[in-house]
Chain A
Amino acid sequence: DVLMTQTPLSLSLTPGQTASISCKSSQSLRHSDGKTYMYWYLQRPGQPPQLLIYEVSKRFSGVPDRFSGSGSGTEFTLKISRVEAEDVGVYYCMQTVQLPPITFGQGTRLEIK
């Protein structure tokens, strides 16, 4: 199984600051087809997860450009510029390069002070 390890597990920021969440995988998420199968989701309190970023750095429809993804191989980062109250929730990274199983990171809880 591909292990996904997120750091930190929690963040507490004031509005306007930048959040940075790391996700490291136990093996490369780059497939022989050239794509990297790495994704980011946000789960707001009491809500199902919603897709933010697909294939490392592509923003899903409707996702503000304050959200950006980067990385390659086994190390990836989600950055949230100018955090707002609506960004509160748990952020998960996910891989689909090797399944079964599809695996998620443990989640990073973002709190806005």
Chain B
Amino acid sequence: QVHLVESGGGVVQPGRSLRISCAASGFSFSNYGMHWVRQAPGKGLEWVAVIWYDGNNKYYADSVRGRFTISRDNSKNTLYLQMNSLRAEDTAVYYCAKIAVPGIYDYYMDVWGKGTTVAVSS
């Protein structure tokens, strides 16, 4: 059974950094691209970033480009999001999500983790 478990969230001051992780199991992690999607309190879904199955291509939302870095370690079946220069507006639940189709043929998500909460506050 496909399982995604996010961790590493917490309270962080504005301007500081945080790295969150997503541990994957139940599928061939190295064959699938992965996303980060976030949801601010009481708001809708906002796509953050995607990384190809092999890590060779990454795309970001304008709101995080230059501050956040998506990466993966296929030997550890783990996805990461390094978040620098955090702002109050980055406060959200961060979900990792698996792309439904192996390879690079589409980008839609079929399985989501339960999320980890990041709160940026002084």
Contact = CB atoms under 8 A, between A and B. Distances in A.
Given A48-B95, A48-B114, A54-B100, A104 B107 contact: no
A49 B44 CA distance: 11
A100 B45 CA distance: 15
Chain B binding site: helix, strand, loop or mixed by DSSP? strand
Contacts of A37: 106-108
A67 to B, nearest CB: 15
A52 to B, nearest CB: 11
B24 to A, nearest CB: 14
Interface residues of B, number: 23
A100 B37 CA distance: 13
B61 interface: yes
A100 B60 contact: yes
A87 B37 CA distance: 23
Given A37-B108, A96-B106, A48 B44 contact: no
Nearest to A49: B112
Nearest to B109: A51
Nearest to B4: A48
B114 A99 contact: no
A105 B47 CA distance: 11
A49 B115 CA distance: 10
B108 A92 contact: no
Interface in A45-68: 47-51, 54, 60
A81 interface: no
Interface of B: 35, 37, 44-47, 50, 59-62, 95, 97, 100, 106-110, 112-115
CB-CB nearest 8 A-B residue pairs: A48-B112, A102-B47, A96-B107, A100-B59, A104-B45, A107-B44, A101-B61, A39-B108
Interface of A: 37, 39, 41, 43, 47-51, 54, 60, 90, 92, 94, 96, 99-107
